[in-house]
Amino acid sequence: MSSNILNKARVGLLVTALLEDEWNKTAHIRPKAQAATNRIAAVIENYAEVINPGFVENEDEAYKAAKLFNSSNVSLIIFVELAYQKGLVPLRTLLATNTPILVLNTQMINTYPEDADFDLIMLNSGMAGLSEVTGSLLRTERSFSILTGHIEDQNMLEELQEHIEAAKTVHNLRNSRIGTIGHPYEGMTDLMVDTLSLRNKIGPVVWPIEHDEVAATTDSIETIEIQELIKEEKEKYGLVNVPSPALDKSFALALALEKLVKKHDMDALAVLDQTWLNDTRVGVVPSYGSSRLTAMGIPYTCEADVAQASAMLIMQNLTGHATFLENYMMDFNKDVMMLSHDGHGNPALAGNPKEVKILPSIYYTGVNGFGASFEYAYKTGEFTVMSLIPNGKGSWRMIIAEGESLPMKARNIVAPQMLFKYNKGSVSEFANAWCLQGPSHHMVGAYGKLANKLKKVAGILNIETVII
């Protein structure tokens, strides 16, 4: 994992106002302005590490703030005007960075009291000059978001938290590395993506790992390591029942993938799972190892799908866990879509670990037999699916649908399974709306109502968003 990946968001705070120049003479409220700055910082510290240069009054201080933000690797700059400020002062900071900007249009008071004096108005009149700065950002083509509300309004603070998490997600995307092993599955047009465009518009670097290195590492795994992992999984899950040599090879491959992810500093993998089926050093499908990595926080996609590996990184950054899926079949009686993928998923999202089974795959056989794979039902709860795809216009599209994972009994298909109930209509309406937006045949998913958060991520990336 890159050293630039943030576990906690890091925010640069720029608070400014014009207090003192040739004509304005309100320097006596400078202590109150600094106190207001500290109050804003204290609120934001509930959601992020705050890099606070203090109350900024002039271009020199604004330039120093930009240097501080750039050197501190912040993922977002939150800009606040307490009172009117000449636009060139905050622009000295905002145009000297490439960091996403959130204009926080807030006040320390939530009403206009009858006994208000000029000092009180001065410290709560940022709206007076805000449009000058936003207009200048538009004229200079510097993108930004804006959020308005009282500094203690809970609805506003929930939105603020989402903006902060979205910015951290984009920061981490731009510092992520996706390892590819093998080629995209032949003939799959949705996997025919430009990885330079992915790097430019979405963020991750795509870097190959030689399949032979994986096989050689698998062959070098010690028997004791395999036995320890088998024991660990038997204690964690309800059933591990795979005959040798497929069981040992599957677990050796899992350990090899883990070692190579660390060696090559990868944050996700996109792999053609059929790569090693005829290699005697491996000779099994990696479904067990792929699912194990995903549960460990290393998103993994089958068929070398780098676009959905990026989508999984987005979902994981927002929620902690994501999984890889595709539409399998429609249940018209229950009005749900069955989601799955052949043997691969995220067992950390299973409904009950003791109902999770590790069984021989029924999908692909290699020279060492059917490799180990997972079978379980996903847990219930609000669930969001998303597909990330080139839009054919030189950019990318994020296609999103919210719904619910319903209770179900896992069928005997040696795969993770979910019954997904679309929350805006029938399964037929979901299928129509989904297909009309041109998604990949793959999708990713995570728990929660995530459309608003994903829309903020897409806004920072400056890509198209469709919420169906």
Q: Give the orientation angle of helix 154-173 with respect to helix 306-319, to 10 degrees.
A: 140
Per DSSP, the chain holds a count of helices (H) and strands (E) of 14, 19
**Model confidence, pTM:** 0.95
Identity of the residue numbered 119: D
Which residues are within 8 A (CB) of 103 and not within 5 positions of it... i.e. 6 or more apart?
Answer: 79, 130, 133, 134, 144, 145, 146, 147
The C-alpha atoms of residue 306 and residue 199 are separated, in whole angstroms, by 11
Distance from chain centroid for Cα 214: 27
Q: Which of 184, 180, 190, 187 is nearest to 441 (CA)?
A: 190
Domains along the chain? 10-173 (3.40.50.10940), 177-467 (3.20.14)
Q: Judging by beta carbons within 10 Å of its beta carbon (0-12, 13-18, 19+), is residue 80 exposed, middle or buried?
A: buried
**pLDDT by position in tens, the chain (length 468):** 566 898 999 999 999 999 987 888 889 999 999 999 999 999 999 999 999 999 999 999 999 999 999 999 999 999 999 999 999 999 999 999 999 999 999 999 999 988 889 889 889 999 999 999 999 999 999 999 999 999 999 999 999 999 999 999 999 999 999 999 999 999 999 999 999 999 999 999 999 999 999 999 999 999 999 999 999 999 999 999 999 999 999 999 999 999 999 999 999 999 999 999 999 999 999 999 999 999 999 999 999 999 999 999 999 999 999 999 999 999 999 999 999 998 899 999 999 999 999 999 999 999 999 999 999 999 999 999 999 999 988 899 999 999 999 999 999 999 999 999 999 999 999 999 999 999 999 999 999 999 999 999 999 999 999 999
154 token code pair:
């809970």
Strand order in the sheet with 268-271: 205-208, 177-181, 268-271, 300-302
The C-alpha atoms of residue 56 and residue 61 are separated, in whole angstroms, by 6
pLDDT of res. 430: 98
pLDDT of res. 260: 98
pLDDT of res. 21: 79
381 token code pair:
């709860």
The C-alpha atoms of residue 360 and residue 468 are separated, in whole angstroms, by 37
Angle at 53 (CA atoms; ends 49, 56), nearest 5 degrees: 135
Q: Which of 263, 275, 102, 120 is nearest to 185 (CA)?
A: 275
pLDDT of res. 258: 98
Residue corresponding to tokens 């780098």: 306
pLDDT of res. 121: 87
What residues form DSSP beta bridges with 400? 386, 467
Number of CB atoms found within 10 A of residue 232's CB = 11
What does 138-151 look like in DSSP terms, one character per residue? HHTT---EEEE--T
Q: Judging by beta carbons within 10 Å of its beta carbon (0-12, 13-18, 19+), is residue 33 exposed, middle or buried?
A: buried
pLDDT of res. 154: 97
The C-alpha atoms of residue 212 and residue 301 are separated, in whole angstroms, by 19
pLDDT of res. 2: 63
Residue corresponding to tokens 């804006």: 146
pLDDT of res. 343: 86
pLDDT of res. 126: 93
pLDDT of res. 153: 96
